[in-house]
């Protein structure tokens, strides 16, 4: 019985620590929207505003397509360490 309790406590601790890790190195989100690290977007474009917007739009649309939705409200903050945020909306 003590082993079962210890195992349950360990699994619970691991789950709560996993929830505290924060966003990863790629797209982080769910069916309502998400964020993309700006350095990831900038590394795939040529540095211009139009290229950044096109890359971010393609990445966000790819994420939302998994939920049969499309990306809307794309917000790009062009600074290192910032994020591109987006919402997913029904088609």
* DSSP annotation string for the chain: -HHHHHHHHHHHHHHHHHTTS---SS-EEETTEEEEEHHHHHHHS-SSHHHHHHHHHHHHHHHHHTTTEEEEEEEE--STT-EEEEEEEE-
| Domain contains 1 | no
| Domain contains 9 | no
Q: What is the pLDDT of residues 50-79, one digit of tens each?
A: 888 999 999 999 999 999 999 999 998 888
| Domain contains 11 | no
| Domain contains 31 | yes
| Domain contains 10 | no
| Domain contains 54 | yes
Q: What is the pLDDT of residues 78-91, one digit of tens each?
A: 888 899 999 999 86
Q: Which residues contact 28 (CB under 8 A, 6 or more apart)?
A: 34, 35, 36
**Structural domain count of the chain:** 1
Q: What is the extent of the structural domain holding 49?
A: 23-90
């Amino acid at each position: 019985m003590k082993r079962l309790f210890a195992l349950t406590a360990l699994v619970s601790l691991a789950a709560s620590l996993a929830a505290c890790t924060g966003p990863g190195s790629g797209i982080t989100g769910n069916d309502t929207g998400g964020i993309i690290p700006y350095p990831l977007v900038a590394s795939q474009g040529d540095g211009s505003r139009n290229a950044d917007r096109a890359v971010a739009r393609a990445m966000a649309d790819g994420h939302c397509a998994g939920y049969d939705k499309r990306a809307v409200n794309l917000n790009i903050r062009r600074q290192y360490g910032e994020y591109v945020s987006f919402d997913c909306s029904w088609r």
